[in-house]
Amino acid sequence: MGNGSLIHTAKKVVGKAILAADESTETIRKRLATIGVDSTPEINRQYRQLLFTATGIEKYISGVILYDETIRQTSDDGIPFPKLLSGKGIVPGIKVDKGAVKIPGKNSDTFTQGLDGLGKRLTEYKELGACFAKWRAVYTIADDGPSLIAIERNAHDLALYALICQDVGIVPIIEPEVLMDGDHSFEKNKQLTIKILTAVFVQARKYSVDLSGVILKPNMITAGKNNSRQKNIGTVAETTLQVLNKVVPAEVAGVAFLSGGQSPPLATDHLNMINKIRNRLKKSYPGKITASYGRALQGETLEAWAGKKENVTKAQRVFISRAEKVYKAGLGQL
């Protein structure tokens, strides 16, 4: 896949909202446990099928991030999930990192595993139908962190991952997530997010990553979830957009915000306000600004489904209702 194809694919992925259905085995187990359902490969398949076959999904969702288990599964009628999605005009993607591990002696600092053998895994995923990938680095705000070591290590790895993706012909989603965990201030999140994103793009340029074939999946600027002094939707949106305009290179194909533990309505309202403000500005980041939500697109659907076949149609309606809102929020039209 040449650069032109990478750019085309990247723009298609961010054309609407992106569904993050890439929960790891452990994460999907936890999510299903909240509705009293035990996770098995078959239960996981049934749940993902519910999402992917919802009537009208293609109106609001342009890309779906899959997990290793899911990309190998098929629908009830034997259609591989990547093919099922592609048939609806939705781009299939794949989570390729192997999770965060602690940096010894650095307390809350982590780096993300998965670079070893990445090219080979990406080649297989491409054969299975994946056109884009995702790699997540996480940063915990604490008195002693994140350290410069963690910031620089993750920036390096995100850039190298992106370069390997593009070499294989796959669009990379770069996800540097400053976690909402803790009681840190709004201002501290802002300053650290600027520092982290700046480091990521410095490394991306050093590695000669083609930024026009890259999608950024960042956090919004919020106070820690345990901080009683939360900012209003307008302040969060305005500050988040200021950070994008300050540090995200104009050539980046698109920005797809993560929800980071926000409720579905709040994550939707924040995205909508970001785009409303952006629509009023003459000078702003020119690429698409949308969402790549997991829980914020699925939370209500899981509750409606509750693991019961008789609830599938109802749950699909709930999912499509939220997907439509998130899609409209990506246009600033709610």
**DSSP secondary-structure letter at 51?**
H
CB contact set of 187 (below 8 Å; sequence gap of 6+): none
Nearest to 278 by CA among 333, 235, 328, 238: 238
- Residues 123 and 168 sit within 8 Å (Cβ to Cβ): yes
Residue 49: which of 27, 12, 68, 21 has the closest Cα? 21
Q: Can you give the length of the chain in residues? A: 334
The catalytic position among 217, 231, 288, 325 is 217
Q: Would you call 88 a catalytic residue per the annotation?
A: no
CB 244 within 8 A of CB 255: yes
Taking residue 63's Cβ as centre, other Cβ atoms within 10 Å add up to: 29
Catalytic choice (16, 134, 175, 300)? 175
Burial grade of 36 (CB within 10 A; 0-12, 13-18, 19 or more): exposed
Residue 175: active-site member: yes
Longest dimension (CA), the chain: 53
Q: Which two tokens stand for residue 56?
A: 């009208």
> Strand 132-139 and strand 61-66: pairing?
unpaired
Name the phi and psi angles at 162, rounded to 5: -60, -40
Q: Which residue has the tokens 């797809």?
A: 256
Alpha helices in the chain (DSSP H): 3-13, 25-33, 41-52, 57-60, 68-71, 81-87, 118-128, 148-168, 186-206, 233-247, 264-280, 295-305, 312-329
61-66 and 91-95 beta bridge pairing: parallel
Which residues participate in catalysis according to the annotation?
A: 175, 217
